[in-house]
């Protein structure tokens, strides 16, 4: 777009590629994120001294922080993301669910808002039937959640979930819903503009997760029919337009084995897995975010892609030892390429992966004409990918892509719970 860029970085990231490639770079503090990437005054100061018009927050750290969005507003720096009110409303999961339900988006049967006592919770659980799940309203990513199979387990689950969410989020509010067994995690990418119009870019299947960390995402979902895609797309747009959502966002759904779908959460940021949607739609989602932030309107049409794409997250982790982090120096690096192969990364040969942050070091994104083509192309790319000096999730991905059930597209969010990791080097 011809826009000049300023990178901010902590001392731990001084050698990262984004720092080298940006037009300017400002160090905002030491490795601990509280003192750098989460330190709002330092980031605002970096924007002010470089005369930045806007801040793109990426997908971690302050990307869904209402306070940061508000402070950017106050300092006349355009936050390329959701408004403070939107972040707050969707960040409170019980409020988000009630908002979507009121808009006519299907939600999982459960409490109307928060539960105020064990007796109250037991009564609702009795009505909807066990198993149920208790969820932290401030949660997300699986923290502060407890499954309750029968009334005798309720009190302990309630106490544990309250304690955990209070400690983790400073908010111990819980809501309750029917527990959906063996669901799929399927999310719809949406983009909205300032006129209140939203469109969708179809779905991503993110069911391949381990401990709430996504490892592989793909589009289209092998489980989704054309009719279901249309219904989920319509529901996502209805939800987005009801809240006048502006920018790129994701509506996450749980899909049960009967292909009923239910709103789960909304992400008010660009996500790690957005490139698979880009590969099948030809949208540059970051460019869309910038255009919408600059006040442009969207085309308004919905996308039902004919192409297929998959992303494997390459993490610096030792799969054979429970995916434990494996930071250190990359001695030798070969990045795969060719038609339909995209690698998004900040690393290079000689780079030292710091132990301070998330262990994702690259995204390998493959596209093609069919799911079968994507899988063979992905296997070829994974085998060509050389990252010497550290352990990575590449051997896991190769094993997964050789799994018959995965090849059939027969998997739910529980798939990796029974996956045999023992043969992976």
| Footprint of ligand MV4 (CB under 6 A) | 108, 133, 140, 142, 177-180, 183, 185, 209, 212, 254, 264-265, 413
> Least Å distance between CB 379 and ligand MV4?
25
Residue carrying the six token digits 């255009």: 291
Strands 24-27 and 332-334: unpaired
> Least Å distance between CB 222 and ligand MV4?
16
> Least Å distance between CB 9 and ligand MV4?
30
> Least Å distance between CB 133 and ligand MV4?
5
Q: What whole-number distance in Å separates Cα of residue 90 and Cα of residue 422?
A: 40
In 3D, which of 142, 191, 148, 149 has the Cα closest to residue 164?
142
If the CB atoms of residues 55 and 254 are measured against ligand MV4, the closer one turns out to be: 254
- DSSP annotation of 319 reads G
Is 269 an active-site residue? yes
Question: Are residues 290 and 3 in contact, defined by beta-carbon separation less than 8 angstroms?
Answer: yes
> Least Å distance between CB 174 and ligand MV4?
13
Q: What whole-number distance in Å separates Cα of residue 39 and Cα of residue 32?
A: 10
If the CB atoms of residues 82 and 254 are measured against ligand MV4, the closer one turns out to be: 254
Strands 341-345 and 360-368: antiparallel
* Burial track 19-28 (b if 16+ CB lie within 10 A, e otherwise): beeeeebbbb
Sign of CA dihedral 378, 383, 386, 388: positive
If the CB atoms of residues 265 and 273 are measured against ligand MV4, the closer one turns out to be: 265
If the CB atoms of residues 129 and 142 are measured against ligand MV4, the closer one turns out to be: 142
If the CB atoms of residues 52 and 100 are measured against ligand MV4, the closer one turns out to be: 100
* Residue 349 structure tokens: 């040969």
The residue annotated as part of the active site, out of 229, 269, 342, 377, is 269
Question: Are residues 414 and 405 in contact, defined by beta-carbon separation less than 8 angstroms?
Answer: no
Q: Which residues, 6 or more positions from 153, have their beta carbon under 8 angstroms from its beta carbon?
A: none
Catalytic (active-site) positions: 269
């Amino acid at each position: 777009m011809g826009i000049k860029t300023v990178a901010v970085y902590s001392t731990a990231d001084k050698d990262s590629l984004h720092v080298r490639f940006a037009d300017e770079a400002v160090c905002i503090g030491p490795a601990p994120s509280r003192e750098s990437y989460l330190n709002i005054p330092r980031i605002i100061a970096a924007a002010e001294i470089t005369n930045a018009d806007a801040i793109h927050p990426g997908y971690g750290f302050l990307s869904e922080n209402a306070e940061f969005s508000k402070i950017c507003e106050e300092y006349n720096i355009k936050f390329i993301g959701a408004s403070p009110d939107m972040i707050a409303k969707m960040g409170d999961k019980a409020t988000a669910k009630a908002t979507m339900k009121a808009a006519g988006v299907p939600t999982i049967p459960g409490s109307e808002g928060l539960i105020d006592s064990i007796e109250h919770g037991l009564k609702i659980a009795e009505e909807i039937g066990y198993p149920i799940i208790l969820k932290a309203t401030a949660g997300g990513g699986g923290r502060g959640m407890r499954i309750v199979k029968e009334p005798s387990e309720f009190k302990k689950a309630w106490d544990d979930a309250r304690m955990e969410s209070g400690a983790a989020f400073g908010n111990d509010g819980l809501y309750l819903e029917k527990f959906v067994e063996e669901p799929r995690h399927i999310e719809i990418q949406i983009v909205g503009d300032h006129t209140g119009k939203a469109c969708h870019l179809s779905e991503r299947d993110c069911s391949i997760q381990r401990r709430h960390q996504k490892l592989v995402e793909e589009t289209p979902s092998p489980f989704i029919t054309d009719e279901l895609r249309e219904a989920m797309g319509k529901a996502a747009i209805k939800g987005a337009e009801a809240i006048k959502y502006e920018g790129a966002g994701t509506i996450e759904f749980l899909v049960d084995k009967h292909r009923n779908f239910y709103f789960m959460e909304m992400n008010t940021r660009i996500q790690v897995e957005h490139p698979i949607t880009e590969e099948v739609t030809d949208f540059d989602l970051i460019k869309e975010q910038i255009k919408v932030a600059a006040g442009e309107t969207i085309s308004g049409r919905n996308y039902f892609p004919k192409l297929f794409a998959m992303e494997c997250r390459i993490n610096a982790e030792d799969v054979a030892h429970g995916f434990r982090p494996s930071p250190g120096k990359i001695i030798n690096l070969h990045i795969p390429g060719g038609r339909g192969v995209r690698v998004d990364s900040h690393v290079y040969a000689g780079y030292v992966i710091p132990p301070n942050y998330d262990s994702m070091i690259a995204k390998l994104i493959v596209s093609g004409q069919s799911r079968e083509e994507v899988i063979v192309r992905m296997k070829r790319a994974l085998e060509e990918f050389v990252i010497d000096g550290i352990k990575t999730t590449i051997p896991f991905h190769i094993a997964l892509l050789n799994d018959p059930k995965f090849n059939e597209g027969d998997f739910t969010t529980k798939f990796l719970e029974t996956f045999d990791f023992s043969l992976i080097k």
